[in-house]
Amino acid sequence: MSPRRLALAAAAALSCTALLAACGSNPPQADGAVSKKTAAAAGSQLTEDKELHDQLPEKARKSGKLVSVNNGSFPPYEIAGSDGHSLTGASADLSAALGKVLGVTIEHVTADGLPSELTGIKAGRYDFAIGPIGDFKERQGANDFVDWVQEFVVFAVPKGNPKGITSLDTACGRKVAVMAGGSAEGVIKKQSEACTKKGKAAVQVQSYKDQPSSILAVKSGRADAFFSSQAPLTYFVQQSKGELELAGTGQSNGFDDLYQGAVVPKDGPLRDVLLKAIQKLIDNGTYDQVMAKWGLKDNELKKAGVNLAKS
């Protein structure tokens, strides 16, 4: 990983130091006013785009709102409050700005894990998930992705990396935590099969419903590493006060170019209007200011896209 990328990753964590009291615990109550203030500061001139508003699904136009689902913990993007409705983080700030442009209120609901998010969107219980959620070809069959960030996947390990986990190949025989239903879970399970084919011990895959539970497994010694997106792992490593470090940085770790974004119903009217609205925020500088605030400049896309993943 380049020095610039490492510096930016560290900044992502340091900018959020006050948000969690202890690694492995749930974030404190989110303050909805934070998102509103950030949206106002990042785009004080944001007003409703009547053309985009009129392209929203009829249900959203009549109710004046869109319901976005999250899984509760994906800092520094999503940090949900204990009430199940409030949210802070880069995604919350972007949502507030999107609401201004679209002329609706975006309400946040916390679900129990990624599978519940995806099935809930497909079933129509939620309008979309601002995410960002990993875009992969196998997921595009049921939902569409409006991609607005790029990401990298690495390991969080105990300080000193006592088990020497520096890549997928070195994970053989190790206990690796992942988020249930996430893309990293699929990659580490394939790696486990590759290990046994080479005559090595299989990876002992531990699937958890959220990031804090996975981090706690590493801190308590139940897992040797947590395999997940670099932005949140950098955040958790900084919160660990020297107990954890990153490993396997600067390499693909089983992924091609990794895009993440909002998830919307397949071929629905919300897809294109959300794409246009996000691109408007990119073009007017609001997106850049939100990403910079949360130390995510290295994860920016210059152009939002639909279903960018090729694998």
- Domain of 102, CATH number, reads 3.40.190.10
| Among candidate residues 200, 216, 247, the one where a domain is terminated | 247
Together in a domain, 55 and 125:
yes
Tell whether 14 is covered by a domain.
Answer: no
- Domain end, chosen from 204, 219, 247, is at 247
In a domain, 311, yes or no: no
191 and 138 share a domain? Answer: no
Yes or no: say if 66 and 104 are a contact pair by the CB < 8 Å rule.
yes
25 found inside a domain: no
CA–CA dist 37, 53 (Å, integer): 22
- Assess whether 94 and 237 both reside in one domain: no
Are 277 and 143 contained in the same domain?
A: yes
DSSP state of 150: E
SS3 259: strand
What pLDDT, on a 0 to 100 scale, did the predictor assign at position 298? 80
Report the domain count for the chain. Answer: 2
Domain-embedded: residue 63: yes
Judgement on whether residues 211 and 296 belong to the same structural domain of the protein:
no
Residue 23 forms part of a structural domain: no
Same domain? 157 vs 147: no
51 vs 53: CA distance, rounded Å:
5
Q: 56 in a domain, yes or no? A: yes
Residues of the chain with pLDDT under 70: 1-44, 84
- Give the pTM: 0.73
Q: How far is Cα 98 from Cα 100, in angstroms, rounded to an integer?
A: 5
Pairing of strands 175-179, 204-208: parallel
What is residue 18's predicted lDDT score, i.e. its pLDDT? 30
Based on the domain organization, do 87 and 227 belong to the same domain? Answer: no
Most distant pair of Cα atoms in the chain: their distance: 62
Range of the domain at 134: 31-151+258-306
C-alpha to C-alpha distance for 273 and 94, rounded to whole angstroms: 15
> Are residues 301 and 157 part of one domain?
no
Token duo for residue 7:
């510096």
Model pLDDT, residue 23? 29
Q: Are the C-beta atoms of residues 70 and 30 closer than 8 Å to each other?
A: no
CA distances from 6 to 13, 129, 247, 288, 297 (A): 11, 28, 12, 19, 12
Evaluate whether residue 41 is within a structural domain: yes
Identify whether residues 238 and 209 lie together within a single domain.
yes
What pLDDT is attached to residue 17? Answer: 31
- Quick one: pLDDT at residue 126? 97
Specify the pLDDT at position 13.
39
**Which amino acid would we find at residue 176?**
V
Mark whether 221 and 110 lie in a shared domain: no
Judge contact between 96 and 226, C-beta under 8 A: no
Residue 11 lies in a domain: no
Do 270 and 300 have their domain in common?
Answer: yes
Q: What is the pLDDT of residue 304?
A: 98
Single out the residue in 198, 227, 247 at which a domain terminates.
Answer: 247
